[in-house]
Amino acid sequence: MRVNKTVIFEDLGEMEYQEAWDYQTEIFESIVSVKKENRKKEDAGQAAEKTQNHLIFCEHPHVYTLGKSGKESHLLMNQTQLEANKISYHKINRGGDITYHGPGQIVGYPIFDLDNFFTDIHKYLRHIEEAVILTLEEYGIKAGRIDGLTGVWLDIDNSLKSRKICALGVKCSRWVTMHGFAFNVNTDLSLFKNIVPCGIDDKAVTSMKEELGKEVNMEEVKSKLLVNLANLFDFDLKS
């Protein structure tokens, strides 16, 4: 197989959830299709084609998404309430439970062929978490992981104060990833009160704004996060 360490990056700005889901699905399926064709070529003794890697950043209007292993009871609003508050709701094909996306949150969709990096989904998740942890460190926020829980957390050694600042939920097929992470920068945390975030009812949710007591420059955070992701995964960015 021909390894490709270049990642095509796009910042799509604010985009409806369904539109972004359709777009990343199209990219995901195209990469999977190339991998299927490569298998045929290799069996026939022909040279394989390089697979692409993509990274999308965006923000969504208010939306709740429920993973395939999640419980609908973790959404604490009915359809009428959702419509009244202009919040959309989607059942999707990633792992994990329910979460919220909205303005002020960096939503990242890495659509990587892990054959280009390493074929270990747990290492993949830990690399994403580490990129967020390193980014937070640059703002004086100490973050880490909690055993048995995905995502990035603050006050990890105090179960009464532990709070999540970044959630993860992915799908992986033929070592191609989709979906990704939601990093709370200037997020309106009140929207998390309408759900049981990630199915965890004894932990709070926080944001950089909440921790620092002020609005944070989103573009600056994105730039730092990109550098940390590129360093950890050892990829070259292409816009």
Q: Does residue 46 lie in a domain region?
A: yes
- Chain mean position to CA 141: 20
Per-residue b or e along 113-135, where b marks 16 or more CB atoms closer than 10 Å to that residue's CB: bbbbbeeeeeebbbbbbbbbbbb
Q: Does residue 1 lie in a domain region?
A: no
Q: For residue 17, what are the domain limits?
A: 6-238
97-101, 105-109, 180-184, 185-189 — which is least confidently predicted? 97-101
Q: What is the mean pLDDT of residues 50-67?
A: 95
Q: Does residue 65 lie in a domain region?
A: yes
Active site residue 172: no
- Report the mean per-residue pLDDT for the chain: 93
**Active-site residue identified among 58, 166, 172, 198:** 198
Q: What is the mean pLDDT of residues 82-101?
A: 88
Q: Does residue 125 lie in a domain region?
A: yes
Q: Where are the alpha helices (DSSP H) in the chain?
A: 17-43, 79-84, 121-137, 208-212, 218-233
Q: Does residue 168 lie in a domain region?
A: yes
Interacting residues of 92 by C-beta distance below 8 A, sequence separation 6+: 21, 65, 66, 67, 68, 179
Say whether pTM exceeds 0.85.
Answer: yes
Q: How many domains does the chain have?
A: 1
Q: Does residue 39 lie in a domain region?
A: yes
CATH of the domain at 223: 3.30.930.10
Q: What is the mean pLDDT of residues 97-117?
A: 95
Q: What is the mean pLDDT of residues 95-119?
A: 94
Q: Does residue 186 lie in a domain region?
A: yes
What is the pLDDT at residue 45? 86
